[in-house]
Amino acid sequence: MWTRGYRDEVWSRLDQEWDLLVIGGGITGAGILGEAVRHGKKVLLVEAADFSSGTSSRSTKLVHGGLRYLRQGQFLVTRKSVRERERLMTEGKGLVDPLGFSLAVFPGDQMPKWMYGVGLAMYDALAWKWAHEAQSKESITSRIPPLTGSKVTGGYRYFDAQTDDSRLTIRVLREAVRQGGTAVNYVRAEKLLRTDDGHVRGVVLRDVAPGATRTKEVQAKVVVNATGAWADDLRKELGKERRLRKIRGSHLTFRHDRLPLPEAVSLLHPRDQRAIFAIPWEGVSIFGTTDIDHGQDLEAEPAISQAETEYLLEAVQRAFPALEITEKDIIQTWAGVRPVIDTGKSDPSKESREHAIWNEDGLLTITGGKLTTFAVMARDVLSAAEEQLGGLSERTHVLEPNETEITWPDSLDDAARARLLGRFGAETAEVLGSGREARGIAGSVALWSEMRHAARAEGVVKLEDLLLRRVRLGFLLPNGGLDHEAAIREVVQPELGWDDATWEREVADYRRTWRKSYFVPGAALPPRPPAGG
């Protein structure tokens, strides 16, 4: 699946009428593809860049109900989210896992400690479980040693969940394709096709992979606009007014030994009382997020600003003063743009995270929402298209159970095995192969066998697809993982079929992308290691 030549194979069979054409390869589009395929529909999904390359690889990695949304009165969003969180933890063990949180209270916080207790009681009640407890100053600093030396007065402990957002998207997509769906990246919806009365009946597609020049008119009973923050761009073609507010959330990454977190910490930023999270993830510690209007062109990859960097560092230093963390300790940054329905609120953090569906001249747009509720959003879209596609049966698995027998290498402990099963499901044995490459990439929890499998069978078109979204070294390692360039090249260049000139061009492109959008603003990038390094 998605091996060399798959793009040509997909292109050769586009000339048919599809039940559903989904534009957008993030978690929302992936969920719609999966749900429609499980209901026997003929579905095509196209993504203008790489799968999950937008918001769905740049989240805070949380599958959560959104405790702060209770504070804003968004009870429906929270109720849906906590129930979906429980479902995903059951079906996606190893990919969506419980995460303990210590909610830290500091002097000057506008919300008193007792109100946290009330909110957490409601939060747990929505999930039909009781999983929070009060913490004294002594208990919270004992559980989270980096808080020692701060002015924390105590707090609460509760539970949410975390995931690898990009791998969740890829798994949902690949399971849908194995069940009969079609998904292809680097194919742009160039123009909407319309009937004489103006009804959307299809799309002109253009292949935008390097070196490609082909276009194709594709017909579908229903066209779904699942492009997230880009949704208004397609709607504009129909003459519709913009309805979305694009909000940027940025994050910092630290080595675990500089910010050693045994579990997550949530706190209020001293400047504006926004909720901020410090989270252990994939062997590093991440800190975020900001919540500001993104007034830049979406064609340019979003990046953290210097002001956002300073804002987040201010909160890190307040919470963990003994660690003496500075900008020099940041190994990586990232920024994602999330779409919310624009109601004109002065504070972007107070806009609702509820999703919306609009049927405009036959174009069905789904936008807003949260990663956690992607499956709910998918069913709502298909319900909105019931007249054209038919009704829905009962919900089944969002993530398919793995029923294959696996011979595990002795080198992998239980945690590593659970991680692989969560990310790859029924493909885990294929990813492991002979087991000879089931060894970790230095500084990362990923395995070399994952790297080879991604290059061979996961639709990699550019090096950034591999390092930012499939194996994620660009999120986890200094220098975007390029300190391992020679070893990476040895594994993946033959699988991708790239000649030396292509490899050099891809490395240069990736290095520019990482430098511009995933590093610290204005900092000096380490030099490229020698070819044999």
Question: Which secondary structure element, helix H or strand E, spans residue 35, and what is its range?
Answer: helix 27-38
125 pLDDT band, cuts 50/70/90, is confident
Task: Give the separation between CA 385 and CA 391, rounded to whole angstroms.
Answer: 9
Compute the mean pLDDT over every residue in the chain, rounded to the nearest whole number. 93
pLDDT of residue 74: 63
Quote the DSSP letter at residue 302. Answer: P
pLDDT of residue 343: 79
Instruction: Pull the structure tokens for residue 351.
Output: 């806009």
pLDDT tens-digit profile of 401-443?
877 789 999 999 999 999 999 999 999 999 999 888 999 999 9
pTM: 0.95
| Architecture in CATH of 6-55+166-243+352-389 | 3-Layer(bba) Sandwich (3.50)
Task: Give the separation between CA 297 and CA 283, rounded to whole angstroms.
Answer: 33
- Whether 76 has a pLDDT exceeding 90, the answer reads no
341 pLDDT band, cuts 50/70/90, is confident
pLDDT of residue 503: 98
Q: Angle of helix 500-517 relative to helix 485-496, nearest 10 degrees? A: 120
- Whether 44 has a pLDDT exceeding 70, the answer reads yes
Mean pLDDT of 22-43: 97
- Whether 38 has a pLDDT exceeding 70, the answer reads yes
529 pLDDT band, cuts 50/70/90, is low
Q: Which span out of 78-87, 261-270, 345-354 was modeled with the highest average pLDDT?
A: 261-270
Least confident among 14-23, 67-76, 483-492: 67-76
Least confident among 117-131, 200-214, 280-294, 466-480: 117-131
Mean pLDDT of 486-493: 97
pLDDT of residue 393: 86
Residue type, 19: D
Q: How far is CA 361 from CA 34, 43, 196, 220, 371, in A?
A: 25, 20, 12, 14, 27
- Where do the structural domains in the chain lie, given as residue ranges? 6-55+166-243+352-389, 75-161+245-347, 414-517
- Whether 508 has a pLDDT exceeding 50, the answer reads yes
- Whether 116 has a pLDDT exceeding 60, the answer reads yes
CB 264 within 8 A of CB 99: yes
CATH number attached to the domain at 75-161+245-347: 3.30.9.10
CATH number attached to the domain at 414-517: 1.10.8
By CB atoms closer than 10 A (0-12, 13-18, 19+), residue 223 is buried
pLDDT tens-digit profile of 15-27?
999 999 999 999 9
- Whether 344 has a pLDDT exceeding 80, the answer reads no
Mean pLDDT of 507-513: 97
- Whether 445 has a pLDDT exceeding 70, the answer reads yes
Closest-CA residue to 27 (of 35, 18, 19): 35
CB 52 within 8 A of CB 26: yes
pLDDT of residue 94: 96
pLDDT of residue 121: 81
Q: Each residue of 91-112: b (16+ CB within 10 Å) or e?
A: bbebbbbebbbbbbbbeebeee
Query: Is pLDDT larger for residue 50 or for residue 394?
Result: 50
Characterize the bridge pairing of strands 284-288 and 187-194: unpaired
By CB atoms closer than 10 A (0-12, 13-18, 19+), residue 241 is exposed
Q: Where are the beta strands (DSSP E) in 164-243?
A: 182-185, 187-194, 200-207, 215-225
pLDDT of residue 346: 74
300: CB partners within 8 A, 6+ apart: none
pLDDT of residue 533: 44
- Whether 82 has a pLDDT exceeding 90, the answer reads no
- Whether 239 has a pLDDT exceeding 90, the answer reads yes
Closest-CA residue to 457 (of 430, 418, 439, 483): 430
75 pLDDT band, cuts 50/70/90, is low
Residue that is written with structure tokens 């579905």 in the block: 43
pLDDT tens-digit profile of 460-488?
999 999 999 999 999 999 999 999 999 99
DSSP lists the bridge partners of residue 160 as 99
CB 94 within 8 A of CB 168: no
Q: How far is CA 309 from CA 324, 354, 433, 533, in A?
A: 16, 28, 42, 31
How many helices and strands, by DSSP H and E, does the chain display?
Answer: 18, 18
Cα 462 → chain centroid: 18
